[in-house]
Amino acid sequence: MPIPFTADDAARLMETLESVVADGATPGGVIAFGTADGTPEYLSAGVVAPECGTVAPTRHTVYDIASLTKVVATWPLVGRAIHDGLLDLDGPIRDFLPAMNGELPSAEATVRQLLAHTSGLRASTRLDHYRGAELPLHELMCREPLDDAPGTHRYINRGYILLGLALAHIHDQPLDELAAAVWDELGMSEVMYGPIGRSGRVAPTEQRIPGAPRIWGAAHDDNAALLGGVAGHAGVFATPRDLARYARHLLTAHADATDADLGEWMRAGLVPQAAIEPGLDRGLSWILAAGGRVAYHHGFTGTSLYLALDSGRYLVICTNAVYHGNARTRIAPLRALALKTISAT
* pLDDT of res. 345: 72
Residue 102's Cβ-count burial label (10 Å; 0-12, 13-18, 19+) is exposed
Same domain, 200 and 332: yes
Give the model's pLDDT for residue 327: 81
Q: Please, which residues bridge with residue 31 across strands?
A: 43, 317
pLDDT at 241: 98
Which amino acid is present at 90?
D
* 149/144 Cα distance (integer angstroms): 14
Same domain, 30 and 79: no
Residues in the chain, pLDDT under 70: none
**Are 301 and 212 part of one and the same domain?**
yes
| Residue 185: inside a domain | no
Identify the pLDDT of residue 2: 84
Instruction: Tell me which residue of 216, 200, 213 sits closest to 53, measured CA to CA.
Output: 200
How high is the pLDDT of residue 36? 95
Is 186 within the bounds of a domain? no
Q: Is residue 1 part of a domain?
A: no
* Separation of alpha carbons 78 and 223, rounded Å: 21
Q: Which amino acid appears at position 316 of this protein? A: V
CA–CA gap between residue 157 and residue 175 (Å, rounded): 16
Q: Is 54 inside any structural domain?
A: yes
187 belongs to a structural domain: no
**Which residue, 176, 210, 236, sits at the end of a domain?**
176
From 176, 208, 238, the end of a domain falls on 176
Query: Do 141 and 242 belong together in one domain?
Result: no
pLDDT of residue 260: 77
37 and 85 together in one domain: no
Indicate whether 64 and 198 sit together in one domain: yes
The per-residue pLDDT for 29 is: 98
Same domain, 43 and 103: no
Eight-state DSSP code of residue 6: P
What backbone phi and psi angles, to 5 degrees, belong to 318?
Answer: -125, 115
Please tell me whether residues 232 and 330 are part of one structural domain. yes
pLDDT digit string, tens, across residues 193-226:
999 999 999 999 999 999 999 999 999 999 999 9
Closest CA relative to residue 118, chosen from 154, 72, 167: 154
Number of domains in the chain: 2
| 77 lies in the same domain as 124 | yes
Collapsing DSSP to helix, strand or coil, 213 comes out as coil
- DSSP state at residue 71: I
For residue range 83-131, list pLDDT tens digits in order: 999 999 999 999 999 999 989 999 999 999 999 999 999 999 999 999 9
Domain assignment of residue 122, given as a range: 73-176
Domain with residue 225: its CATH number is: 3.40.710.10
56 shares its domain with 81: no
> Does some domain include residue 34?
yes
338 shares a domain with 253:
yes
Final residue belonging to a domain, choices 120, 143, 176: 176
Q: Are residues 63 and 211 in the same domain?
A: yes
Statement: the pTM of the whole predicted model exceeds 0.95: yes
Residue 235 lies in a domain: yes
- 189 located within any domain: no
List, edge to edge, every strand of the sheet that includes 63-64.
Answer: 63-64, 236-238, 192-193
Contacting residues for 260 by C-beta, under 8 A, at least 6 apart:
83
Distance from C-alpha of 182 to C-alpha of 69, rounded to nearest angstrom: 13
List residues bridging with 314 in a β-sheet: 34, 307
Residue 147 neighbours by CB distance under 10 Å: 16
